[in-house]
């Protein structure tokens, strides 16, 4: 159609350029030679009109362009909006997107996997003409429907629970099918934002580890906060850079104390000294957990760690670990400015059992890195006596130091590989801990996935049954804490886990079971 329209314009232009026949009066013999010379000079000076403006598709009337765009599918129509301003305006036409939406889903027809909230939305909008809707409304509705129409399907898949971990079995499958990725945004002091897409991802049986190793990170001294989002891309046949998607806020970290340009590690004091000689204590929610010859590993809250180049203030990589518990919901169902609100658990109240909420716990714990699994164990029927409640925590003894039959070997050395561009390294005595504690109803009670580090143990915690170097692994947050004792046997060239204790906050326990311990 466009070719025919251009050809017709060219024919019209050529027709205008054909010289018109001269007036008969000028060609008669009655005209004097003087007048004839004047007319001949005027005719000689007259030149045909030139059309400098070329025929362009933007000169086509909008009505014709809309008729042409109606033949495109959703992906092509969406990409046409990035051609220029005219096509951006035409590609948001409510009439075309209403036809695409109705052809795929129907306005009044309900499909089996569509959530009820979407049906209510469609019923409300069906009473209003598409012309009365704001510009781009039907396009946004079409993409939202694509993103959420199979929500019932993946919720059914997450109901299948792994009997070993106590977590959904198909979490990795759902995340891959939903095209979920994770982005991290660094906000500078001047208000500038830098957004980075994930570099590589590692899935385990109970958690996922995400790396961002872009080489264009800003200086760590410039960053005031970090925003972590789960992103779902709409499955359109277009470039990834312009593909639409929805962001779900998962974590927002405020970095109060900015480290100076030069850093020197003091492993005994667990502080970082600036180049001017003053001690800059780390933030209460952050600590230095490891180092090698290239990077220092600084751990923030929510399982997010930052690798900083040694003797510099630039970022080498950012790493985050997520437990599978409610991970899909957190990555999909939040908003760009607010996280997903986890429904509160309401356990049935028991007024018969005097120790209700202190027994029947089940623990699954895994130590791993981005390559191998170091240790994995399942421990059930964990109990706590009322006399073991101290300092606002209940104590669950998982592995006792006095019972050698419970001691568990660790496979290989404890290390955490990392990668930033073409550079690679390994942080010794560091790994990732994924912990899932279930209550007596086999529901997740406390779920943690975070990097941890081993430090030399004090003499008070040494076990004289083992001759070797003793190490201590600790972790603590507002809901609980974990303590592990590990010994290195030189003859076997192997680590052994000889003590494991889990402490749960009584405030969390009271909220969950409705008690007042």
pLDDT tens readout for residues 196-233: 999 999 999 999 999 998 778 888 888 889 999 999 88
**373 with 411: CB under 8 angstroms?**
yes
Q: Are 366 and 167 in contact (CB under 8 A)?
A: no
Q: What pLDDT shows up at residue 147?
A: 72
Rounded to 5°, the CA angle 51-55-56 comes to 140
Distance, C-alpha 317 to centroid of its chain: 16
Residue 278 burial by Cβ neighbours in a 10 Å radius (0-12, 13-18, 19+): exposed
Tell me, what's the pLDDT at 263? 36
Distances (CA, A) of 481 to 18, 33, 63: 92, 116, 67
Q: Dig out the tokens for 426 from the structure.
A: 């390994």
Q: Which two tokens stand for residue 266?
A: 């003091």
pLDDT on residue 216:
83
Beta bridge partners of 195: 185
The tokens for 97 are 């997107």
Cα three-residue angle 205-206-210, rounded to 5 degrees? 95
Q: What is the DSSP string of 329-368?
A: HHHHSS-SSS---PPPP-PPP-SS-TTTTSS-EEEEEEEE
The arrangement of strands across the sheet holding 279-280 comes to 264-266, 271-273, 279-280
pLDDT at 221: 81
Helix pair 62-69, 94-104: axis angle to 10 deg = 20
CA distance 84 to 69: 14
Residues 6 or more apart from 184 whose CB is under 8 A from it? 195, 196, 212, 226, 227, 228, 229, 318, 320
Residue 345: which of 475, 435, 433, 438 has the closest Cα?
A: 438
Asked if 19 and 86 count as a contact pair (C-beta separation under 8 A), the reply is no
Cα 362 from Cα 166, distance rounded (Å): 9
Q: What are the two backbone dihedrals, phi and then psi, of residue 218, each rounded to the nearest 5 degrees?
A: -75, 170
Q: Tell me the pLDDT tens digit for each residue of 289-313.
A: 889 999 999 988 888 999 999 877 7
Tokens encoding 357: 């909420």
Nearest Cα residue to 425 out of 299, 263, 306, 307: 307
User: What element of type H or E holds 316?
Assistant: strand 315-323
Residue whose C-alpha is closest to residue 61's, from 131, 135, 123, 1: 1
Angle formed at CA 388 by CA 457 and CA 501, multiple of 5 degrees: 35
Burial readout 338-347 (b: 16 or more C-beta within 10 A, e: otherwise): ebbeeeeeeb
In angstroms, what CA-CA distances link 162 with 157, 158, 318, 330, 442? 12, 10, 30, 20, 11
**Inter-residue contact 93 to 133 (CB < 8 Å):** no
How far is residue 503's CA from residue 505's CA, in Å, rounded to a whole number? Answer: 7
Give the Cα separation of 29 and 27 in Å (integer): 7
Distance between CA 27 and CA 47 in Å, rounded? 20
The three-state secondary structure class of 322 is strand
DSSP per-residue string spanning 71-105 = TS-HHHHHHHTTS-HHHHHHHT-HHHHHHHHHHHT
pLDDT at 285: 40
pLDDT at res. 87: 87
- Residues of 73-86 as b/e, b for ≥16 C-beta within 10 angstroms? ebeebbbbbeeeee
Range(s) within the chain of domains with CATH label 1.20.1280: 57-149
Give the end-to-end CA distance of the chain in Å, rounded to a whole number: 79
Residues of the chain with pLDDT below 50 are: 1-44, 46-47, 49, 51-52, 108-115, 117-119, 123, 126-128, 130, 257-286
Q: Mapped to the 3 state alphabet, what secondary structure does 147-214 carry? A: HHCCHHHHHHHHCCECCCCCCECCHHHHHHHCCEEEEEEEEECCCCEEEEECCEEEECCCEEEEEECC
pLDDT at 30: 41
Task: Compute φ and ψ for 277, nearest 5 degrees.
Answer: 95, -10
Report phi then psi at 355, rounded to 5.
-110, 35
Measured CA to CA in angstroms, residue 36 lies from 20, 33, 47, 86, 507 at distances of 18, 5, 19, 54, 112
**Domain 57-149 listed as CATH 1.20.1280:** yes
* Cα(148)–Cα(114) distance, integer angstroms: 7
Query: Residue 274's pLDDT is what?
Result: 38
């Amino acid at each position: 159609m466009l070719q025919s329209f251009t050809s017709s314009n060219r024919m019209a232009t050529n027709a205008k350029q054909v010289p018109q026949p001269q007036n008969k009066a000028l060609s008669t013999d009655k005209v004097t030679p003087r007048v004839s010379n004047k007319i001949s000079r005027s005719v000689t000076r007259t030149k045909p009109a030139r059309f400098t403006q070329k025929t362009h598709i933007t000169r086509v009337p909008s009505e014709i362009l809309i008729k042409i765009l109606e033949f495109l599918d959703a992906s092509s129509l969406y990409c046409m909006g990035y051609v220029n301003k005219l096509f951006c305006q035409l590609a948001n036409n409510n009439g075309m997107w209403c036809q695409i939406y109705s052809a795929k889903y129907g306005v009044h027809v309900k499909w089996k996997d569509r959530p009820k909230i979407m049906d209510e939305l469609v019923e409300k909008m069906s009473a209003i003409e598409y012309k009365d809707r704001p510009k781009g409304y039907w396009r946004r509705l079409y993409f939202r429907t694509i993103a959420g129409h199979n929500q019932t399907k993946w919720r059914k898949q997450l109901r299948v629970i792994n009997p070993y971990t106590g977590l959904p079995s198909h979490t990795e499958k759902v995340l891959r099918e939903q095209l979920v990725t994770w982005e991290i945004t660094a906000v500078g002091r001047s208000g500038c934002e830098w957004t980075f897409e994930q570099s590589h991802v590692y899935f385990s049986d109970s958690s996922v580890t995400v790396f961002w190793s872009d080489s264009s990170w800003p200086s760590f001294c410039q960053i005031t906060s970090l925003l972590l989002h789960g992103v779902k891309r709409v499955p359109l046949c277009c470039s990834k850079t312009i593909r639409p998607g929805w962001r779900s806020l998962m974590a927002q970290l405020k970095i109060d104390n900015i480290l100076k340009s030069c850093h020197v590690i003091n492993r005994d004091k667990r502080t970082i000294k600036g180049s001017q000689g003053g001690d800059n204590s780390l933030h209460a929610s952050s600590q230095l957990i490891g180092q090698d010859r290239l990077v220092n590993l600084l751990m923030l809250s929510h399982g997010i760690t930052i690798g900083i180049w040694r003797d510099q203030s630039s970022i080498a990589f950012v790493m985050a670990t997520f437990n599978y518990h409610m991970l899909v919901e957190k990555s999909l169902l939040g908003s760009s400015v607010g996280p997903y609100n986890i429904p509160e658990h309401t356990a049935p109240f028991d007024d018969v059992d005097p120790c209700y909420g202190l027994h029947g716990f089940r623990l699954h714990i895994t130590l791993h890195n981005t390559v191998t699994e170091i240790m994995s164990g399942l421990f059930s029927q964990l109990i706590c006596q009322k006399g073991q409640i101290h300092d606002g925590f209940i104590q669950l003894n998982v592995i006792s130091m006095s019972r050698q039959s419970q001691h568990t070997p660790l496979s290989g050395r404890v290390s955490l590989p990392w990668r930033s561009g073409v550079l690679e390294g390994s942080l010794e005595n560091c790994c990732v801990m994924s912990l899932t504690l279930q209550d007596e109803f086999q529901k997740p009670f406390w779920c943690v996935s975070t990097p941890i580090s081993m430090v030399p143990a004090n003499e008070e915690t040494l076990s004289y049954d083992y001759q070797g170097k003793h190490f201590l692994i600790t972790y603590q947050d507002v809901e609980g804490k974990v303590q592990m004792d590990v010994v290195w046997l030189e003859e076997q060239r192997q680590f052994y886990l000889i003590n494991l204790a889990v402490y749960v906050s009584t405030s969390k326990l009271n909220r969950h079971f409705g008690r007042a311990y």
